[in-house]
Every structure is written in C-alpha cells, then in structure tokens.
Amino acid sequence: MPARKIGPPPEGTVPIGPKLLRRFYEPILFLCTLIEMIKGERGPEPADPRPDFSLSSEQAFHCYVYKLAQVCDNERGGTTVTSFAVLQEPGRILYVFGSNQRDTQPLEDVKVFVTSILTDLKGVVSTPGEHIAKLLKIRRDVLKFNKPRLDYYIECFARALGTCLDICADDDTGDNGSQSDDSSASIQATGDSPVPSSQGDNDDETRTISSPSSLRRILERLQDACSFIHAHDDDLSLEEYLNSCEQLLAHISRVDRSPMRHAIEERAKEGQMDRRECWHKLRHFAGRLLSTYGAADFLVDATRRWPRLFEEDFDVLAVESSQPAPQPFGRKGRTAHEMIGRMTSDMRAMAQHQERAHTLETIGLGEMLHRNCAGTGPRPIVHAEVLVADRVRAINGGTRPSAFFGGWPFIGSSKPTCRLCSYYFQWAHGGRLKVRPSHGNVYPAWRVPDLHTDQGPGAARERVKVMNGILQRVRDDVFTLLEERTPQKKRYDSETSSIVVRLPSVAADGLSDFSPSQMGGLSISGSRRLPEIRELEPAVEELESVHRDSGGRGVAAVTAVGSEDEDEGGWANLA
C-alpha cells in the first residue's frame, strides 16, 4: 500500500514552535540511535511465558476491541495498523476506528468489512442456532480480507520450515529412531494420543518426538500443506486459496496441541544461534497465522458475553489518517556531546553521560546520529490510537467512562502501543483512557495530533505540557540506556504470545465437539493480563510559548511509522 502523499497542513491548525520541535525530537532520535547500536549486543531472547489465568470482564472486553482491530490490519509495514473505540450512545453503539496511513478509499473498504463482521455478529445473537455457520463465514471473511498479510506469513513460515528440515537432515545421521517412533510422533502430532498421566510420561513423549527423524516427518507434512503459496495467482482461485489456508491452519493447530510444540520450543531456545533462529521464526509465524484466524473465534464468543453489545443498532465511524509532516531537522550535523548538553542542566550528570556517549563514538555513534538526524527518514504521522482518542474527545467533549460501552474507557489497537504513544496517553489522558500495554519500541516518525485554532489558547498550552512530559520521559530513557546499555525493545512489535482468548464464564456450546477439519483445530484459551498504565510522574519544565504564523495555518509536527513487521511472535501455545 503506497504511503500517503505529503500535503499542506490543514487549514486553521496551530503550528508548533521550531524550538520545541527540535527539543522534542533530538532525544527521540538519540534514543532510537542508541537502541539501534546496542541491540546487536543482546543475547538470545527467552521464550515468553504462557499465560495461565482468567480475564476480568473489562480485560476480556479489551481483547474483543483489539481483536476487531487486528482483523482490519491486513498489510505489513505499519500503514494499516488500526485502532478502535466502542462508544455507547442513546439507542446505538458507535465504533470509531482509525489507521496509521490509509487513504479515503481503503478506509471505506475497512468500514464495509467491519460493518459486515458486526452484522454477522448480530446474527449470532438473533439466531443462536446458526452460530457455527456464522463463525465459519466470519473466519472465511477474515482470511479473505487479510490475504496480503497471510501471504507474507505463509511464505515466511515455509522458508523457516525449509531451514528447519535441513537441520533435521543434518542431525538425522545420529538418530536411531525406529519406524514405531515415527508412527508415534504422527499420532501425537495430530492430537489423537491420550493425555499423559504424569509429568514423567510427558517427558518421555517429548523425547520420543524430538528425535530428528520424527520431527522431520511432521515438518514435511506442514511443508506439503503450505506448498500452495508458491502457486501463481492465475493457477489458484480465491476459493482454492482459502481452502488451502484452512487446511494448513488445521495442521498447525494440531501440532500446537501436541507434545511436538515442546520439541520445537526447546530447539528455539537451545543450540547455536544460527541453528535456533529458524525454529524461533517457525513458532513465530505459526503463532501469527493462528492468531489471525482465531480472532474470529473470539469475536463470536464475545456475543455470548455481551449480547447487549450486538442487540442494539450500531454505526461505524472512520477517522481520517493524518497528513505526514515535514521532518523536524535539516541536514545540520549533531553530535552526541551537544545533544546531551541540551538534555540536562545538571552539570555533573551531563559530564557523566557525555563520557559514556564518548565510549560509543568509537563504534560509530557519531555517524549513526548524523545519518538519523539528516531528515531523510519517514515523515511524522499521528498513530492510530492517538487519532481515535482525539476524535472521541471531540465527539464527547472528553473521554469520560460513561461515554464508552460498559463504562470502560479503552482504545484497542491491532498492535501493542509504542513507547511514545504510551507516554502520550499518560500525559494527555492521565492514564484514565486505557490502551494496550506497550511493547517498548520507539518510532521517531511520530507526532502529536493537530490542534485547531477554535480550541483556544488553553489547548495550545496543554499540548506543550504533554510534549514536555513525553520529552522528559524520553530523556530519562536515554540516560538510563547510556548507563545500562540494554534497550527496552521487543524484537517483534506486537504481542509475543498469539493465544486466542476464551472469555471467562462462557461455554463454547456446540463448538467443542466440532471436528478439527471444520474448525481448524483451534481452541480459545487464556491470555495475558493487561497491566495498568503507570502513574504520572511530576510535571517537568516550564511551558513553552506556541508560535503562530501570520496566516493561521499549522506547521505540521513530527514523525511517521517505522518498520512495523516483524509482527507478533510465538507459536500459539508454545512458550
């Protein structure tokens, strides 16, 4: 999907003073540069723990909202990252959504897709006997709409499979497993073997199927199941493509529910880096495939938990994406020494941080800073969750809980919140408007939402206060990183567990006995608890005046999205 063109700022917007822009973006670029430098020094990442707890009603609703957003994020690269808010209005439910960088027609396409999904969910409530048929239709519609992303996932999954099979072939010379071992592995991998009666039995099974020959047989079946991805579009109809996708997902799901997942997980954690990387990718892309497909299961289960949500009339409101703004910097060079000097007035701390930065100059810090501050990167945009929050505030004159369904003020996104968005919500909304937990990644192509002249001088002062609050948090992150040289950054910028979540106290009547060939072998299990946003730190720095140009036109502020994918990781229940 092409990026939005850079046009003039909207009429009647309030510009941000160039001094504040420079002060705001210098620490962000510095932090991104440090993370880029230091990430190569990290060791292998540990596997994420498998969540094992029930969700509260509010947490489950959060999952419903971001699962709805997830099925709308159908392309990789960050432009289609989508956020939703669910508002309760008299006599209707209002779904407000926005995306990072979608033009008018793609936004309309998403609106049509969401309207269709929500209409089908209403049908689940109004005709309970048809919930299986509705589930299968929603699953198929999700696969169809997400074909661009699924193509990428399946291609990466197939490549990882090929590398894993090569490793198994290399290891096979030392494997003395018998044909009976292979047969056992085949049964277990399809999920038909009995559940072990003890931990010892489970360990024995895992050791049996982890032999290279047994593992290879299962991987070969998966490889056969995803071979359709190499077919030319002219040779494969959409219906054939969707059928093949569902068959592949059924295979992956059966492996996920078998002891085989433990063998793959162990190989992702052990051995030499170059030999475990493919296993990590294998479980990562398997998890992404199951998560996309399983989102439909969660949406249907939501109709059982909150039937009122689907009994009322609804409307869907699309929020226009922001215009990419000019880069905040020109080509003037900036040094680490100078930038640190503008981040603190504490002379002793300044000298210490400058000395730490000097040690990094020998491995290219200066060159990287010069490149990153050259004004050639992505243009700043307003991220989807900030767009939606800004529109909700305009609709309701605020973000009071009573405006949201269930009294739960929440904006759910297809990806966990980036670090700057997390800081923004802490300062702009005081932690009262909740968002997904942050993955900690920092994207320099980020900006605050536009401010219009009719919002008054108080809004301009509040924007400066918010930017100063974010600024101080980023400066603290820079100083912490210089001290620890360990960035808080996730390899994948989404959830690393791709669990499909079961709503608590809701029975899956009619679903549990449905055959894996029809249901894809997926179950809806537990998910991680959504932590609260941390309390605000004390306000920092004096407010800086907001400069207006003579014509009243806004000078666009900062950044756009970085490279969004590598997506959410983790084989569905592997961790």
DSSP class of residue 56? P
564 φ, ψ to 5°?
Answer: -75, -45
pTM reported for the whole predicted model: 0.79
Q: Is the pLDDT of residue 255 over 80?
A: yes
Q: What percent of the chain has pLDDT over 70?
A: 71
- Comparing 100-114, 193-207, 267-281, the range with the smallest average pLDDT is 193-207
Q: What is the pLDDT of residue 274?
A: 66
- Comparing 21-25, 184-188, 362-366, the range with the smallest average pLDDT is 184-188
- Comparing 138-142, 233-237, 317-321, 481-485, the range with the smallest average pLDDT is 233-237
Q: Are 555 and 17 in contact (CB under 8 A)?
A: no
CA distance 311 to 61: 16
Q: Is the pLDDT of residue 468 over 50?
A: yes
Q: Is 397 left (phi over 0), alpha (psi -120 to 50) or beta?
A: left
- Comparing 58-72, 496-510, 517-531, the range with the smallest average pLDDT is 517-531
Residue-wise pLDDT tens digits, 384-437: 999 999 999 999 878 899 999 999 999 999 999 999 999 999 999 988 999 999
| Stronger pLDDT, 569 or 489, i.e. the higher one | 489
299 φ, ψ to 5°?
Answer: -60, -40
Most confident option among 281-295, 329-343, 367-381:
281-295
380 φ, ψ to 5°?
Answer: -65, 135
- pLDDT (mean) for 321-345: 87
Q: Is the pLDDT of residue 29 over 60?
A: yes
- Per DSSP, the three-state class of 337 is helix
Q: Is the pLDDT of residue 520 over 60?
A: no
- 31 burial type by CB count under 10 A (0-12 exposed, 13-18 middle, 19+ buried): buried
- Comparing 8-17, 130-139, 461-470, the range with the smallest average pLDDT is 8-17
> pLDDT-based confidence at 259, cuts 50/70/90?
confident
CA distance 570 to 575: 7
Q: Are 101 and 3 in contact (CB under 8 A)?
A: yes
| Stronger pLDDT, 120 or 129, i.e. the higher one | 120
- pLDDT (mean) for 41-65: 66
Which H or E element spans position 361?
helix 347-361
Residue-wise pLDDT tens digits, 473-516: 999 999 999 998 745 556 666 554 444 444 443 333 333 332 33
- pLDDT (mean) for 530-542: 26
Give the tokens for residue 529: 């608890």
Q: Any idea where the domains of the chain sit in the sequence?
A: 336-372
| Stronger pLDDT, 387 or 452, i.e. the higher one | 387
Radius of gyration of the chain (CA): 25
Side-chain half-sphere of 424: how many Cα atoms within 13 Å?
A: 23
Q: Which residues have a Cβ under 8 Å from the Cβ of 397 and sit 6 or more positions away?
A: none
According to DSSP, the residues that pair with 13 across neighbouring strands are 452
Residue 86 C-alpha from the chain's centroid: 19
Q: What is the pLDDT of residue 19?
A: 84
Q: What is the pLDDT of residue 72?
A: 98
The CA–CA distances, whole Å, from 433 to 318, 366, 463, 509 equal 20, 39, 17, 34
Biggest alpha carbon distance in the chain? 83
